[in-house]
Amino acid sequence: MTKELQQQWAQCLTILADNLTDSAYRIWFAPIVPLQFENGTLVLQVKSQFVAEYIEENYLQILSSTIIRVFGQGTHLEYRVLIDAASGAATQLPSAGAHAQAKPIVNNLPRQRDNFESQLNTFYTFDSFVAGEPNKLARTAGVAIASQPGYTAFNPLFVYGGSGVGKTHLANAIGNQVKVLNPEARVLYVSANTFKLQYQDAAKNNRIPDFLNFYQSVDVLIVDDIQYFAGLKGTQDTFFHIFNYLQQSRKQLILTSDRPPIELKDIEERLLTRFKWGLSAEIKNPDYQLRKNILLSKMRRDGIVLSDEVVDYIATNVRNSVRDLEGILASLLAHSTLTDREIDIRLAEEVISHIVAIQPKKITVGDVLGAVAEHYSLPEKAILSANRSKEIANARHIAIYLTKELTDSSLTEIGFKMGRRTHATVLHSIALVKDRLEFDPVLRQTISQLESALRH
């Protein structure tokens, strides 16, 4: 920077200070460093791309008029932004009125090493994340991201689902695996609420540029419960620019929410659009098999021994979340230890009844028909038809029998929904299956399997 350039930029700062609020001047303009003025182009160094974008959006008119006043008509403005501290690579971004293209600049600046704290929960790994159909898509994408963060089609990865289904566990597992494969990677986990508080503190203390520089230095950014950005305009504006910078720099973003992007309220449309750029993957409430596998996994991890009857009872009745399953196990252990009782089905019923509202699953005629059709690989319409082939008639009898056993439907309702059959036909089917159950072990096993599937 020449002495003349320094003096000219000092004149610009004087004009800007006279026309802006004190906080606006100190945050956005005082830190700027003029680098050069050659061939009618003024290059200003700013701390981040966000700073350049913010000035362009909010102060371009006053900045442009000030520069023209000091440097002369026809002056073009460019911003110099360091984009990779490791290699010293930077870019020069033209102002809205400039015609120059962004030009990469490479400096041999060493990357500063620091004590970067990822805030990851090291207990949340892929090994402890039990896979199943409800979380298959999200987990598969997470594994792919962990091996190549920023270089898959899943950027951002937007994981959504109800409370306690494993969103936070999966997000942390991705971050932890990235760190295993690349210990130097800057991986940051932060809750949306923490991000909001950090932003508000930075704004209050005129440290927005430092706040942005920190977040734009991250290689993998994980923001949990993004729905809590709702209605926070300043937080959303800032995150928008951080998102853009990281995504354009091929850094990985992982976001979690309790609902899909389309259902988020009071979030700016430009952010919602970006949330949909990568993959939106739902983690559903765990099904019976996944709940059972989670219980078995935690039992092996903690050295707990439970009977199959107790495991089945817990998996059947604790349906909403993984967190509920963990709570039930902890409660059972506490009750068993404090009361010196064995963890049997009676203790399980007693403990669970005080924690979870146990409601028998409502089984419908359609549920029964679908289960029987799937078991015998038959179309539902074939079972409802007048076809009397042995295979179809057998499936029809079983469907009618199970409907009587597992639903509240009357015989008349069953007959109507099973192809408009008469009361007598329904009674005949039920009696036929009951008689066969006494001597046919294969049928007994089939009925047991179907009942278990329907009840769970």
pLDDT digits 0-9 by tens, 102-134: 333 333 333 344 567 888 988 889 988 988 888
- Are both 145 and 270 inside the same structural domain? yes
**Which pLDDT does position 243 carry in this prediction?**
93
Q: Which of 355, 382, 407 is the last residue in one of the domains? A: 355
- Are both 232 and 312 inside the same structural domain? no
By three-state DSSP, how is residue 250 classified?
Answer: coil
pLDDT for residue 64 is more than 80: yes
Instruction: Give the pLDDT mean for 39-66.
Output: 83
**Which pLDDT does position 242 carry in this prediction?**
93
- Which tens digits make up the pLDDT trace of 265-274? 999 999 999 9
- Are both 258 and 322 inside the same structural domain? no
- Are both 348 and 403 inside the same structural domain? no
Residue 22: inside a domain: yes
**Which pLDDT does position 137 carry in this prediction?**
93
Long-range CB pairs of 204-208, under 8 A, 24+ apart, other chains included: 206/23, 206/26, 206/27, 208/27, 208/238
Distances (CA, A) of 104 to 41, 74, 93, 138, 348: 16, 24, 10, 36, 66
Tokens at 308, concatenated: 């199959």
Tokens at 379, concatenated: 């179309």
Q: Which helix (H) or strand (E) holds 257?
A: strand 252-257
- Specify the pTM: 0.59
- The beta strand positions in 39-102, using DSSP E, are 41-45, 76-84, 89-94
- Whole-angstrom distance, CA of residue 48 vs CA of residue 50: 5
Order of strands across the sheet that contains 103-106: 33-38, 41-45, 76-84, 89-94, 103-106
Q: Residues 6 or more apart from 310 whose CB is under 8 A from it?
A: 343, 344, 345, 348
- Are both 327 and 416 inside the same structural domain? no
The total of structural domains in the chain comes to 4
- The beta strand positions in 71-114, using DSSP E, are 76-84, 89-94, 103-106
- Which tens digits make up the pLDDT trace of 208-227? 888 998 999 999 999 999 99
**Which pLDDT does position 271 carry in this prediction?**
92
Q: Read off the pLDDT band of 82 (50, 70, 90).
A: low
**Which pLDDT does position 19 carry in this prediction?**
83
**Which pLDDT does position 190 carry in this prediction?**
94
- Are both 204 and 162 inside the same structural domain? yes
Alpha carbon 382 to its chain's center: 42
Q: Residues 6 or more apart from 312 whose CB is under 8 A from it?
A: 292
Instruction: Give the pLDDT mean for 94-108.
Output: 45
CATH of the domain at 171: 3.40.50.300
Q: Residues 6 or more apart from 327 whose CB is under 8 A from it?
A: 355
- Are both 205 and 251 inside the same structural domain? yes
List the beta bridge partners of residue 94. Answer: 78
Q: Give the angle 287-289-292 at the CA atoms, nearest 5°.
A: 105
- Are both 293 and 349 inside the same structural domain? yes
- Which tens digits make up the pLDDT trace of 360-377? 567 888 888 888 998 899
- Whole-angstrom distance, CA of residue 368 vs CA of residue 451: 9
Q: Read off the pLDDT band of 452 (50, 70, 90).
A: confident
Q: Which helix (H) or strand (E) holds 279?
A: strand 279-282
- Are both 144 and 234 inside the same structural domain? yes
By three-state DSSP, how is residue 386 classified?
Answer: coil
- Which tens digits make up the pLDDT trace of 289-334? 888 888 888 877 767 788 888 888 888 877 777 777 877 887 887 7
- Are both 370 and 417 inside the same structural domain? yes
**Which pLDDT does position 109 carry in this prediction?**
32
CATH of the domain at 389: 1.10.1750.10
Residue 119: inside a domain: no
- Whole-angstrom distance, CA of residue 412 vs CA of residue 433: 18
Residue 117: inside a domain: no
Which range among 1-5, 200-204, 257-261, 281-285 shows the weakest confidence by mean pLDDT? 1-5
* The amino acid at 64: S
Which range among 92-101, 116-125, 445-454 shows the weakest confidence by mean pLDDT? 92-101
> Which of 254, 362, 293, 262 lies closest to 134, judged by CA?
293
**Which pLDDT does position 10 carry in this prediction?**
92
Instruction: Give the pLDDT mean for 352-358.
Output: 67
pLDDT for residue 166 is more than 80: yes
Spatial contact of 68 and 11, defined as CB atoms under 8 Å apart: no
Could you list the residue range(s) of the whole structural domain that residue 407 is in? 365-455
- Are both 336 and 392 inside the same structural domain? no
Instruction: Give the pLDDT mean for 254-275.
Output: 92
Spatial contact of 221 and 192, defined as CB atoms under 8 Å apart: no
- Are both 141 and 243 inside the same structural domain? yes
Residue 371: inside a domain: yes
> Mean pLDDT across the chain, nearest whole number?
85
Instruction: Give the pLDDT mean for 229-257.
Output: 92
By three-state DSSP, how is residue 284 classified?
Answer: coil
- Which tens digits make up the pLDDT trace of 378-430? 999 899 998 889 899 999 999 999 998 888 888 888 888 888 898 889 999 99
Q: Which of 327, 355, 383 is the last residue in one of the domains? A: 355
Residue 115: inside a domain: no
**Which pLDDT does position 89 carry in this prediction?**
60
**Which pLDDT does position 99 carry in this prediction?**
35
Residue 113: inside a domain: no
